[in-house]
A = this chain, B = another copy of it.
Amino acid sequence: MNTKKSEENNNKKGITTREEDYSQWYLDVIREAELAENAPVRGCMIIKPHGYALWENIRNELDIKFKETGVANAYFPLLIPQSFLEKEADHVEGFAPELAVVTHAGGKKLDEPCVIRPTSETIIYDAFSRWVQSYRDLPLLLNQWANVVRWELRTRPFLRTTEFLWQEGHTAHAAEKEAEDRCRTMLNVYQYVAEEKCAVPVIPGEKSASERFAGAQQTLTIEAMMQDGKALQSGTSHVLGEGFSKGFDVTYLDKEGKDQHAWMTSWGLSTRIIGGIIMVHSDDKGLVIPPRISPIQAIIVPIWKTDEEKVSVFAKARELQEKGKEAGLLVQVDTSDEARPGPKFFEWEKKGIPLRIELGPKDMAAGTVVAVRRDTGEKQNVQEAEFSSFVSETLETMHKDMFEKAQNFQKEHTYSVDTWDEFKDTIENKPGFILAHWDGTEETEAAIKEETKATIRCIPFDQQEEDGVCVKSGKPSKKRVVFARAY
């Protein structure tokens, strides 16, 4: 089942430049950083330790925030009776083509086939229908960390894979307004983790009707810009309205004793964000990890020639590591027996470790170390005594610099466009985001997509209202929306 192509990529060496072939560059960065590789089943991936450590850190940051907003974790089954998906018409239409179906189990054909969850609204709301009886049971605020399977035609590691890891939050509320607020609160959490932890600037906003989650009445999104100018939808939050609560009979008795349907929300962020982090920060030398989520923040590379030197540089390296640890920093020592520093520098560079600390006999004699920033390549001597404070401050500076750099890139590649000719020219020749007026109809949106492959990424929350005319139809519009080609 291994495709020829995926085997080739698993075995290739070196990193193609972004200019030469952006798509290949992305695959090369992943392979050389040992983040992931293709698995035997089509479109699935193996997340290797370095990639998984990134996911663990993102997961931990999100989990803390979820719990702060009152959400509890639970776990719902992987397998869903096929009939469940049919209880919400839009939902089944959206997911039916991507389902993986278990028809046989325990050596027998099943009476009713099960699907592997592509998302868990149906199985979770079936439980909600039992758990929600009275207004006292609301709000119900749950999240699960899980794997899901969607049989995608075109897959790319992290960005779109047959199986992926994610969290999916599901809440039920008595009032529509409360559901809307929860939906927005969780989008804010996504924006916070993307920007403050992953240094990925995002545009938060609302999806147009045609880009909504299957079954939602409102979908909010954070959209990030990759270095090829394409957009990546990096996390979404939905108000599901009453579609699911009607399909699954999630009703409660209100304070007046009247039967009411609950208002639901769901929201998810997946391993896809790792693809975004790679494509926002990395360079032609390989991965660049934002320091706040890096599993190793500073790697000490000992340099030696004689055995005696080796013993003393390693002792000093361990001492610095301990100091770093005491200051709450993730410092590691390269313990490889390889004496040549070059290959070791190269390896940690490809792996995107924020700071490289070089430590040789001459540095020891001078009471200093050499620190090299992964993002800028900037090199400087640091007094041993200032090691921890230097690392700590530099990591913070790097986070800010990486965020600003990405934000500037996004600004420089965002074009305010007013005519259709300009739109077509921009989308072809200036990859990035287009801010343009749109008449609000699905027809116009579809026509623009058909002709340019650009979709409405979102209607940004902070976009000022202004009088304008739709870039395609010429009809009146009150607000610019973000168009882009997207992953």
Contacts and interface: CB of A to CB of B under 8 A. Distances in A.
Interface string A168-203: 000000000000000000000000000000000000
B97 A74 contact: no
A104 B115 CA distance: 10
B100 A100 contact: no
B77 A163 contact: yes
Contact of A40 (B46, B100, B126, B146): B126
A163 B127 contact: no
Contacts of A55: 75
Contacts of A101: 102-105
Interface stretch (A147-155, A282-290, A423-431): A147-155
B74 A106 contact: no
Contact of A73 (B10, B52, B84, B126): B52
Nearest to A48: B74
A41 B79 contact: yes
Given A1-B112, A45-B77, A127-B46, A84 B53 contact: no
A364 interface: no
Nearest to A337: B136
Most buried by B among A10, A97, A107, A142: A107
B151 A79 contact: no
A165 interface: yes
Interface string A446-465: 00000000000000000000
Contacts of A370: none
A75 B100 contact: no
A40 B80 CA distance: 8
A161 to B, nearest CB: 9
A97 B104 contact: no
A100 B79 contact: yes
Given A99-B105, A104-B101, A81 B41 contact: yes
B151 A77 contact: no
A44 B147 contact: no
A35 to B, nearest CB: 11
Contacts of A78: 44, 78, 116, 147, 149, 163
Given A101-B105, A105-B151, A77 B126 contact: no
Nearest to A146: B147
Contacts of A52: 72-75
A10 B127 CA distance: 11
Interface residues of A, number: 57
Contacts of A123: 39-40
A46 B117 CA distance: 14
Contact of A44 (B10, B77, B126): B77
A350 to B, nearest CB: 17
Interface in A1-51: 1, 10, 37, 39-41, 44-49
Most buried by B among A80, A97, A152: A80
Given A76-B46, A116-B116, A147 B149 contact: no
A79 B126 contact: no
Contacts of A1: 81, 111-112
A130 interface: yes
Interface string A56-76: 100000000000000011111
A85 interface: no
Most buried by B among A41, A74, A127: A41
A98 interface: yes
A114 interface: yes
A112 B41 CA distance: 10
Give 9 closest A-B pairs by Cβ, nearest first. A106-B151, A49-B72, A44-B77, A47-B75, A100-B105, A105-B151, A101-B104, A39-B77, A41-B79
